[in-house]
Structures are given as structure tokens and as C-alpha cells.
A and B are shown apart, each in its own frame.
Chain A
């Protein structure tokens, strides 16, 4: 009897050790505090941005029909849209950061650690490369038709690349963005709709699913 009890506690110790190993491997290689609410917040920012962009485009088209083509008006529109896109990206990033910061606090892990640095770096590489590429395409070669699809594709690649360093489900969002980007190359007139679907709707759906899957139960313990 005594022998059996001794054996049981030893078994539990071994189980604990295995559990510890698994936990350390996960904690040290993936940033798991990325919150679903971050996705929702980023999606809302994108929807708001798309609403402004749509209004400006309509104003431009109205002026175009009434007064005809003006190079200055087109350049203004182009510049405003670039600035808007940057503002939306910045706001989306900050709001996403906020919810993830909150969740990291709950996990009692620092927001800025080995894993979040790796995640940031691995998503930043495709995004920065894509950003420069698209700016060159637009400003130097005047090619605007592939800007929307390009944003979606490069962003999707960034997510797939980053998925190795965070919740791996995020790669599915990446695949969806890439597919959407490729499809949208065939519909240049509906670029904004595709952009809105990719950055707005998909983010919100993904964010909600992630929140439902991982955070719902712990959400009220704040």
C-alpha cells in the first residue's frame, strides 16, 4: 500500500515535469497573448477608413463628371488616400496593441519579450517590403490598380510568416487575405470593396472566432 502511494506521487512528479516542459516550450517560442479583440478593433478601424475613402472617391468622381479630369485633383486624392491608409494602419496597430497588452497583463507576461519581438520582426519584414513596393508602384509608375490587391497579398504573407510565432490559427486569416488579394486583381473597379472585406470584415470575423475559442471563458475575470 505504502509502496503504491509512493509510486503514485512519483508518477505525478513525472507528469508535472512533462507538463512544465510543454509549457516552457510553448511560452518561449510563441506569443500567445495576441487577443481576438485586437482583430476586431483593427477591423473596425479598417471599416472606418474605407468609409472615408469611399466618400472621397465619390466626391472625386462627381467632380470628374462635372468639371472633367484635373491632374491636381487626382494627385490630391492620391495623396489623401495614402495618408488615410497610413493613419488607418497606425490606428489599427495601436488599438490592436491595447487589447493584446491587456491580455498579456492577465497572463502576467511582459508585452515586450523574446516572443513578441520575434512575432513583430517576422510580420514586419513582408509588410515593410510590400509597403515600399506599393509606394514605388504608385508614385513612380503611377500604377494604382494593384495597390488594393497588393496590400492584401503582402499582409496575408506577413500573417502566414508570423503564425509561427503566435497563435497558429492566424495563418488561416493569412491564407484568406492572400486568396482575396489574388481574386481582387481581376476586379480593379472593386478594389476598395475587396480591401474592406479583407481588412475589415475578415479581421472582425477572425477576431471574434479567436475570442470565442480562447478568451470567452476568462473574459469576465478582468
Chain B
């Protein structure tokens, strides 16, 4: 975990608003499709796909490929590691805010 800020538990991967948004959504939804994510975050296909790949490579999310009829339906869910990293990140944010006051 070289990317972690050793002081606060902040995670570089979550510096990006879209990735942070994806993680927030996955924290409260068991499973969510690519299209729903796209709709909620108001981003383009390509942009979202890149960020999803980064999150997947970090082991924070799981990808499930399925079909609805003939159309592919990709859904995502959060992993244990993802949940922990996200919680640490929020705690980090809180610490940073409190620390400055």
C-alpha cells in the first residue's frame, strides 16, 4: 500500500471525483450496473470505463459480466479491501479537517 498517505490513511486512488463517486455508490448498493453508474455520475462511457479499470486493478471492486437478452450487462460490487480502503479514506478526510481547526 505504497499509495497510502501514512499519516491519515488517505488513498491516492480516491483523489479522483469519479472514482470517489463510484466507491460511494458501491458502499450503499450491493450491486450496480455500468449504465446506472454512468447515469448517476454523469460521465461518458470511455471515461467511466478507465476509472472502473483502475478500481478493479486495485482490487477494490469486483466485476460481474452478464447478459440481458443479447445485450451485455456488466455489474459491479465492492470488495472487502475496497470497503476498508474507503472507510480509511473517509476517516483520513475527517482527521485532516479536524487537524486543521
Contacts and interface: CB of A to CB of B under 8 A. Distances in A.
Interface of A: 7-8, 10-11, 14-15, 17-18, 20-22, 24-25, 27-29, 110, 113-114
A43 to B, nearest CB: 31
Interface residues of B, number: 20
Candidate in A15, A18, A24 with the most chain B CB atoms within 10 angstroms: A24
Contacts of A17: 17, 20, 93
B40 A21 contact: no
A1 B24 CA distance: 35
B28 interface: yes
Interface of A is mostly: helix
A50 to B, nearest CB: 39
A21 B20 contact: yes
Interface of B: 17, 20-21, 24-25, 27-29, 32-33, 36, 39-41, 90, 93-94, 96-97, 100
> When A and B form their complex, which 10 residue pairs have the shortest distance between CB atoms, in order from nearest?
A24-B24, A28-B25, A114-B36, A29-B28, A21-B24, A14-B93, A11-B100, A25-B28, A24-B21, A14-B96
Contacts of B90: 18, 21
15 contacts: A11-B97, A14-B96, A15-B97, A20-B24, A21-B24, A24-B21, A24-B40, A25-B27, A27-B40, A28-B25, A28-B29, A28-B32, A114-B32, A114-B36, A114-B39
